[in-house]
Amino acid sequence: MRKILFTLYVLLIFSCSSEDENYLAESISVNGKNIYAAGYYIDGYPNGTQYATYWVNGKRIVLGEGEITDIHVENDIVYATGLDENWEAVYWVDGIKTVLDGNDTSSNSIFIHDDNVYVAGRFSNGSCYWKNGIKTNLTTNADSEAFGIVVNNNGNVITGGYYMNNHHYLIPARWNGTSRRNLTKPQGGDAEIYDVKLKNNTPVFFGMTMRQNNMVGLLPKASYWIGNNRTDCENGGTWQNNIYGGEGNGGFILGDDIYVTGHIQHIGTVDSDGNPNEAEPGITPHYWINGQIFDLPGGPVFDNYWVGEGRDIVAYDNQIIVGGWASSSSHSQVATLWIDGQLIYLENKDKFPSVVNSVYLE
């Protein structure tokens, strides 16, 4: 009954939408929780402006030009990080911007602990994190980036990302403070960490692994690590039936269940003349629970490739909310929420290219 009522409410919202506003003119929520989705939208495509944007229950809020990569809400204060109009790494607290220390910076995630703001990312000489805008170096003089950050109950800063070693392998890494430890990866392959969450004060790392395959080179899978114990998620098929591989972008923990969202990439086939078969998916949205794959509906196949991707995931009261993008007949990417598998465009799918990078319930 709950899902049917939600569907009817969304249909009423769509019927009241205005072409001059974002696609959801009224609000949506999950059992009384506010849904925050953050990323960007582009106004005036194809030569328009990209805006750092978050949506609260479907209502668009713009912080300025740029992009939001992660969002966190605590005590009704909205914290976000990303890039501003100068493509510099920044964070916002209720819309007030702080530029992060360093040159050629990029920020990926944000965490709040004891009213301090922690951000993970990179700068011109390697990986780093910031506390209240002040930079702490992690791995330098190397190709390295920190994507996820948490602070545990003991006040220890834990980040996850990757670095490239002298043999040109991408090594999944965690940093306890500034001390680096390698996480497991397939022999002869690569791996990267894209997100970190805490499970009973133990960090759980989310990302992807790539292993050697004689036919397709490096075959990727969405993966997660609890401590240093790695689980590689199902791809839902093999390269023999046109599935190239998977990638995990964001994760969530609820009780003993580990949630991951991301995409599966398909190899695709060609016709007798060598032309790509239209209407075949390229990149499709999915999520995993404890390594088991579940499909999400995407948009129509756009340009023989684009369908959809999950970027972040949360679970609450037996409902699963995924944020990301889905294609439309007009654009390759439109900001999207999936609530219990139901696709909801956050913007007019024929007017505003857009992406959700992060979701948060409050």
Domain boundaries, the chain: 2-361
| pLDDT at 332 exceeding the cut of 90 | yes
Instruction: For residue 58, give every residue at least 6 positions away whose Cβ sits within 8 Å of its Cβ, in sequence order, or none.
Output: 13, 22, 23, 24, 25, 26, 27, 28, 35, 344, 346
Separation CA 50–CA 210 (nearest Å): 32
Contact 246, 220 (CB under 8 A): yes
pLDDT band at 207 (very low <50, low <70, confident <90, very high): very high
pLDDT band at 2 (very low <50, low <70, confident <90, very high): very low
For the chain, what is the mean pLDDT? 90
Main-chain phi, psi angles of 249, to 5 degrees: -105, -40
Reported as a single tens digit per residue, the pLDDT across 58-68 is: 999 999 999 99
Number of Cβ within a 10 Å radius of residue 155: 9
Query: Could you tell me how far CA 356 lies from the centroid of its own chain?
Result: 7
Contact 218, 212 (CB under 8 A): yes
Question: Residue 9 has what pLDDT?
Answer: 36
Separation CA 36–CA 312 (nearest Å): 11
pLDDT band at 112 (very low <50, low <70, confident <90, very high): very high
Separation CA 283–CA 100 (nearest Å): 33
Question: Residue 242 has what pLDDT?
Answer: 80
Question: Residue 26 has what pLDDT?
Answer: 54
In sequence order, the β-bridge partners of residue 293 are 288
pLDDT band at 91 (very low <50, low <70, confident <90, very high): very high
Reported as a single tens digit per residue, the pLDDT across 258-303 is: 999 999 998 866 566 666 666 678 899 999 999 999 999 999 999 8
Q: What percent of the chain stands above pLDDT 90? A: 78
Question: Residue 269 has what pLDDT?
Answer: 63
Question: Residue 217 has what pLDDT?
Answer: 76
Question: Residue 5 has what pLDDT?
Answer: 33
| pLDDT at 17 exceeding the cut of 90 | no
Question: Residue 79 has what pLDDT?
Answer: 98
CATH number for the segment(s) 2-361: 2.130.10
Main-chain phi, psi angles of 184, to 5 degrees: -70, 150
Provide the strand spans (E) within 10-94.
35-43, 49-56, 59-65, 67-74, 77-83, 89-93
Reported as a single tens digit per residue, the pLDDT across 128-183 is: 999 999 999 999 999 999 999 999 999 999 999 999 998 789 999 999 999 999 99
Decide: helix, strand or coil at residue 256: coil
Reported as a single tens digit per residue, the pLDDT across 18-45 is: 444 555 545 687 888 999 999 999 999 8
Separation CA 229–CA 243 (nearest Å): 26
Tokens in use for 250? 């964001």
* Whole-prediction pTM: 0.91
